[in-house]
């Protein structure tokens, strides 16, 4: 017996090899998921080298969020066929998690780019921007310039996007018809929109590639009417025909700036050749 024990690991040795605390091994023994191969008359526990592979499998399945009770069921009825079924299920779950992580990375990358743009963009200065073709999910707005109505319409727009399984890193934008840009009068939206890379949906509106006159302001919505008028004047002064709408986007919003007066708003007017 003493000679054979030289080929086994004590609880402490096995725990160090597996990079866990001894209490973890005690817990696994208590629930019957991994018990020591030998328990001496003195109560000492000994694990074999073959149990390292079992522990590794348990750890892998735990990392995949498989409950210990389910792991125990598998180990109690293990077979090559059962192992194949288990791996195929886990393979599918891993593939789904990879997709979720890829989406989350794209979301974070986009948010980072937008926020950095909000910190570096010229403020209250008109500049030109050439953009590629973009895709928008747009919903029409027929209400008045009333905050409660606008908030309800934005919520409905967001729900519509979610119904299409579209979750965008971009803040919801508004399309302001140039026909409503009148000095001394408040502007009104005609559409709310969300940028997307999903071009195949019937709900998608294509925003053609082209040049835009752009102006940003870091004082929220207070000077939107004034800036819109300046953009239209810029188009006229430089021999452009303005597009039908001015696009209103948020670069810094509640998540980064806090409070309407601190938002950074980006206003973009499509420039067409006269």
Q: How far is CA 151 from CA 12, 47, 107, 158, 192, in A?
A: 61, 64, 24, 11, 11
For residue 249, which phi and psi values (nearest 5 degrees)?
Answer: -120, 155
pLDDT for residue 200: 66
pLDDT for residue 2: 52
Q: In this structure, what token pair is assigned to residue 48?
A: 């074999």
- As a whole number of Å, the CA-based R_g of the chain is 31
* CB-CB neighbours of 268 under 10 Å: 21
> How far is Cα 109 from Cα 90, in angstroms, rounded to an integer?
28
pLDDT for residue 157: 95
Average pLDDT of the chain is: 91
* CB-CB neighbours of 229 under 10 Å: 15
pLDDT for residue 1: 44
Nearest 10 degrees: CA dihedral of 134, 209, 204, 200? Answer: -80
Q: In this structure, what token pair is assigned to residue 137?
A: 């999910």
> How far is Cα 227 from Cα 267, in angstroms, rounded to an integer?
8
> How far is Cα 131 from Cα 81, in angstroms, rounded to an integer?
55
pLDDT for residue 258: 80
Q: How many CA atoms lie within 13 A of 164 on its CB side?
A: 22
Q: Give this prediction's pTM.
A: 0.74
The per-residue DSSP string of the chain comes to: -TTGGGGSEEHHHHHHHHTS-HHHHHHHHHTTSS--SEE-TTS-EEE-THHHHHHHHHHHHHHTT--HHHHHHHHHT--HHHHHHHHHHHHHHHHHHHHHHHHHHHHHHHHHHHHHHHHHSPSS--EEEEE--EEEEEEE--S-S-HHHHHHHHHHHHHHHHHTT---SSPPEEEEEGGG--TTS----SEEEEEES-TT-TTEEEE--EEEEEEEESSTTTTHHHHHHHHHHHHHHTTEEE-SEEEEEEEE-TTTT-SGGG-EEEEEEEEEE-
Low-confidence ranges of the chain (pLDDT < 70): 1-3, 199-200
């Amino acid at each position: 017996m003493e000679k054979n024990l030289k080929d086994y690991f004590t609880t402490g040795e096995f725990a160090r090899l597996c990079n866990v605390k001894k209490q973890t091994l005690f817990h696994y023994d208590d629930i019957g998921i991994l018990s020591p191969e030998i328990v001496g008359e003195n109560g000492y526990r000994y694990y074999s080298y073959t149990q390292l592979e079992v522990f590794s499998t348990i750890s892998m399945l735990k990392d995949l969020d498989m409950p210990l009770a389910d792991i125990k069921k598998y180990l109690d009825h293990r077979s090559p066929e059962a192992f194949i079924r288990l791996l195929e299920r886990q393979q599918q779950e891993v593939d789904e998690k990879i997709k979720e992580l890829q989406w989350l990375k794209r979301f974070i990358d986009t948010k980072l780019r937008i926020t950095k743009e909000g910190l570096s963009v010229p403020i209250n200065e008109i500049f030109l921007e050439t953009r590629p073709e973009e895709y928008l999910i747009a919903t029409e707005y027929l209400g008045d310039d009333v905050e409660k109505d606008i908030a309800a319409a934005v919520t409905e727009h967001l729900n519509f996007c979610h119904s299409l399984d579209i979750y965008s890193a971009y803040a919801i934008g508004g399309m302001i018809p140039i026909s409503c840009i009148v000095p001394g009068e408040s502007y009104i939206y005609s559409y709310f929109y969300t940028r997307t890379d999903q071009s195949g949906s019937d709900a998608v509106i294509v925003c053609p590639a082209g040049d835009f006159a752009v102006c940003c302001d870091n004082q929220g919505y207070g000077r939107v009417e004034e800036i819109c008028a300046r953009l239209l004047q810029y188009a006229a002064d430089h021999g452009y025909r303005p597009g039908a709408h001015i696009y209103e986007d948020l670069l810094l919003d509640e998540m980064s700036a806090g409070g309407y007066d601190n938002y950074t708003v980006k206003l973009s007017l499509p420039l067409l050749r006269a």
